Amino acid sequence: MSASFNGRTALVTGAGRGIGRAVAVALSDAGANLVLLARSKDQLASTADEVSARGHSAVAVVADLSDATQLKQIGRDVLEASGGIDILVNNAATVAPLGATTEIATEDFLSTLILNVVAVTALTKALVPPMLERGWGRVVNVSSGLAVRPTSMPGGNTYVTSKAALEAHTANLAAEVAGSGVTVNIYRPGTVDTTMQSWIREQDPQRIGEELHRQFVAAHERGSLISPERSAAALLQHLAGRETGQVWTVDSAPAAEAVRPK
Ligand SMILES: NC(=O)c1ccc[n+]([C@@H]2O[C@H](COP(=O)([O-])OP(=O)(O)OC[C@H]3O[C@@H](n4cnc5c(N)ncnc54)[C@H](OP(=O)(O)O)[C@@H]3O)[C@@H](O)[C@H]2O)c1
């Protein structure tokens, strides 16, 4: 199965760094043009330079997906910047707030649910109808294994709640559009060496919980974190196929040698 997305246009949210950046670059290696979305203009510019160096176009949309009042306009801005999206990678998310559930401010819980879940539904609403009309589209929602192992992250109630909701949304949407040519899947990227991980290690153990902090420090010290590029490559291998309604993981990807990115 060869991953070729020649002539396709992809939106990757959270494309300024980490997994999103690596996915954007991998998609451009596979022939896609990119729309890159995040809040940090400089990071998007850096990803755009890397995509452009591969001979594909990259347009940056600077936007805050945790602002519910902006979501409709962000969808319009993406459409205007791109002329239409074929591949939607909902990757942007936050792991914050961390700590005892009873200490979490309701506004912080809500802000994370907006970014990690509601923004995904808003981009879907804006970008999927044209995919359905064309009879081809790919939607991937980047989740976490913690969605189905919530007890593994005490102190991460907001995050695990948001990822469980994201997975329910994704499976339900896949069933809704089954047979349309638009596939909708979940991707659990593995434990990846990104800012999200280093940010957790930098937090005060007493505030976020000693056990939670210890887990993340230990994973780093064991050397068990994988690179964003490895995780992105596994996602691209899945994306080349026609599966829908699946939970993809970094370890369940088809054999790497079967993929010849262009
Ligand atoms: N790293 C891991 O071990 C791991 C494990 C399981 C799942 N995941 C999932 O993988 C995805 C990517 O994580 P990562 O580790 O690459 O995280 P990361 O390094 O923190 O990158 C997150 C990206 O999302 C963007 N973002 C954050 N808040 C945003 C907002 N309000 N509006 C728009 N964009 C926003 C960030 O850019 P700005 O800050 O500039 O906006 C950045 O580009 C997430 O869905 C995460 O839950 C990661």
Give 201's DSSP letter: H
d(CA 53, CA 210): 44
For 162-193, how does the pLDDT look when each residue is reduced to its tens digit (9 = 90+)?
Answer: 999 999 999 999 999 999 999 999 999 999 99
Kindly state the tokens that stand for 232: 């992105």
Residue 218 falls within a domain, yes or no? no
Ligand 1 binding pocket includes 195 (Cβ within 6 Å): yes
- Residue of the CA atom closest to atom 44 of ligand 1: 93
Collapse the DSSP code of 88 into the 3-class scheme (helix H, G, I; strand E, B; otherwise coil) and give the result. strand
Task: Give me the domain span that covers residue 134.
Answer: 9-190+226-248
CB atoms within 10 A of CB 143: 26
Residues with a catalytic annotation lie at 159
Q: What pLDDT does 240 receive?
A: 84
Measured in Å, residue 16 CA sits from the centre of ligand 1 at 9
Residue 261 falls within a domain, yes or no? no
pLDDT band at residue 260 using 50, 70 and 90 as cut-offs: very low
Residue 152 falls within a domain, yes or no? yes
Q: What pLDDT does 259 receive?
A: 36
Exposure pattern of 200-209 as b/e (b: 16+ CB <10 Å)? beebeeeebb
Residue 255 falls within a domain, yes or no? no
Measured in Å, residue 143 CA sits from the centre of ligand 1 at 11
Ligand 1 binding pocket includes 17 (Cβ within 6 Å): yes
Domain count, the chain: 1
Residue 200 falls within a domain, yes or no? no
Ligand 1 binding pocket includes 19 (Cβ within 6 Å): yes
Measured in Å, residue 162 CA sits from the centre of ligand 1 at 13
pLDDT band at residue 254 using 50, 70 and 90 as cut-offs: low
Give 45's DSSP letter: H
Q: What pLDDT does 3 receive?
A: 64
Ligand 1 atom with least separation from CA of 92? 24
Overall size of the chain counted in residues: 262
pTM surpassing 0.85? yes
Residue 3 falls within a domain, yes or no? no
CB atoms within 10 A of CB 94: 18
pLDDT band at residue 2 using 50, 70 and 90 as cut-offs: very low
Q: Examine the pLDDT at 44 and tell me if it is beyond 50.
A: yes
Residue 205 falls within a domain, yes or no? no
Residue 14 falls within a domain, yes or no? yes
What CATH code is carried by the domain that includes residue 154?
A: 3.40.50.720
pLDDT band at residue 258 using 50, 70 and 90 as cut-offs: very low
Share of the chain above pLDDT 70, in %: 95
d(CA 172, CA 254): 24
